[in-house]
Amino acid sequence: MDTQQIAATVAGAGDLTALEDVRVRLLGKKGEITGMLKQLGGLAPEERAAFGAQVNALKAEAQALLDARKSELEGAAEAASLDAGWMDVTAPAPERPLGRLHPITLLLEEVIDHFTGLGFEIASGPDIEDSFHNFDALNIPKDHPARDVWDTFYTDRGEIPRTHTSSVQIRTMMNRTPPMRILAPGRVFRNETIDATHHASFHQVEGLLVDRQVSVAHLKHTLETLVDRVIGRGLKTRFRPAFYPFVEPGLDLDVSCVFCHGKGCGVCKQSGWIELIPGGLVHPNVLRACGHDPDEWQAYAFGMGFDRMVMLRYGIDDIRRLYDGRLSLVRQF
């Protein structure tokens, strides 16, 4: 065996297993080069040194060739595995569907932000009410025609799925000492035939501020800044007198139509105005029913029909879209 033969054999090993076989064949206990060393004993003493040196050189050369081939094969193996695991880091990631917030939640967060910035706290009350909180304490006595304004559901036990969030005004005023400012978002229920603008369950956001010397001017300012900041900058507003048993005076805030900007269109029924938020100064009877002296404390209140606000803000023309659970709606936000 000479260097050239060894080099050829080593180069012929196509992978690491084959190379190991070659190593055993050359340098193993029964390997060819090892076998050459065993011949030493049969040589004349003066020949041994030269032959021994020759075989050792061959051995070292074989080892070096084996090592070189080994790292060559290892490099190739690594390159192959990198190749197999190759990926395009610039390729777009597979789409992962993310949850979205419902438009009612989105706008509610904005409205809550606006009012908490003005020092209002969030309050809540039960969805299932009694007649006292839903009607009586709000100056709507039993058998009074004003009760007919609300198409009320009753449970078998005579409880009322609340017809408005105004019940939270009562609960708050009875449990706290003035002054107080609260915002009460919540679900309300009416015995309505469902169509594009009516639903049997919808949302209101009630506001209540109790303090000394509260006037319509305070209410006006609060609602006007709400419209300006949350519904749409530059919209005009106006107040009209309106009747609600629990406020005196009562009024409705109108905004110039967000669709035609006051020119007149189908949505505003050619009037140029959209009725948006009812409110007023809390009736002395309501303050008294909650244990507060109306000569000392005054209050303003308002109750937004929230679905309508959401529809105006986002241009949704059918209230049923807010409740039918189709993802095509929320995916747009």
Residues recognised as catalytic: 150, 164, 190, 204, 247, 301
Length of the chain: 333
CB 188 → ligand DAH: shortest distance, Å? 7
Q: Is 270 left (phi over 0), alpha (psi -120 to 50) or beta?
A: left
| From 15-23, 73-81, 264-272, 295-303, span contacting ligand DAH (CB under 6 A) | 295-303
| From 7-15, 76-84, 301-309, 317-325, span contacting ligand DAH (CB under 6 A) | 301-309
Residue 278 lies near ligand DAH (rule: CB under 6 A): yes
Could you give the CA distance from residue 333 to residue 321 in angstroms, rounded to a whole number? 14
In the complex with ligand DAH, the residue whose CB is nearer, 36 or 146, is 146
Residue 103 lies near ligand DAH (rule: CB under 6 A): no
Question: Rounded to whole angstroms, what are the CA distances from 126 to 140, 168, 170, 190?
Answer: 19, 8, 12, 15
- In sequence order, the 6+-apart residues with CB closer than 8 A to the CB of 226 are 111, 114, 115, 277
Task: Name which position in 189, 202, 244, 273 contacts ligand DAH (CB under 6 A).
Answer: 244
| From 55-63, 77-85, 179-187, 277-285, span contacting ligand DAH (CB under 6 A) | 277-285
Cβ distance 6 to 58 under 8 Å?
yes
- In sequence order, the 6+-apart residues with CB closer than 8 A to the CB of 308 are 276, 319
In the complex with ligand DAH, the residue whose CB is nearer, 9 or 237, is 237
Residue 279 lies near ligand DAH (rule: CB under 6 A): yes
Token digits of residue 41: 């004993």
Token digits of residue 260: 């035609």
| From 43-51, 93-101, 263-271, 273-281, span contacting ligand DAH (CB under 6 A) | 273-281
In the complex with ligand DAH, the residue whose CB is nearer, 154 or 333, is 154
Exposed (0-12), middle (13-18) or buried (19+): which is 41, by Cβ within 10 Å? exposed
Task: Name which position in 171, 184, 303, 309 contacts ligand DAH (CB under 6 A).
Answer: 303
Residue 237 lies near ligand DAH (rule: CB under 6 A): no
Exposed (0-12), middle (13-18) or buried (19+): which is 254, by Cβ within 10 Å? buried
CB 262 → ligand DAH: shortest distance, Å? 24
Q: What angle, rounded to 10 degrees, do the helices at 103-117 and 216-226 form? A: 130
Residue 301 lies near ligand DAH (rule: CB under 6 A): yes
In the complex with ligand DAH, the residue whose CB is nearer, 10 or 304, is 304
Residue 135 lies near ligand DAH (rule: CB under 6 A): no
| From 18-26, 114-122, 176-184, 275-283, span contacting ligand DAH (CB under 6 A) | 275-283
CB 312 → ligand DAH: shortest distance, Å? 17
Binding letters toward ligand DAH, positions 170-209, x by CB under 6 A: ------------------------------------x---
CB 153 → ligand DAH: shortest distance, Å? 14
Q: Which residues of 204-231 are buried (b: 16+ CB within 10 A; e: fewer)?
A: bbbbbbbeeebeeebbbebbbebbeebb
Q: Please give the order of strands across the beta sheet that includes 298-305.
A: 121-122, 180-189, 201-211, 298-305, 273-282, 247-256, 237-242
Could you give the CA distance from residue 10 to residue 51 in angstroms, rounded to a whole number? 23
Report the residue closest to ligand DAH, judged by CB: 303
Residue 129 lies near ligand DAH (rule: CB under 6 A): no
List the end-to-end C-alpha distance of the chain, in Å, as a whole number: 80
Binding site for ligand DAH (CB under 6 A): 164, 166, 206, 244, 247, 278-280, 301-303
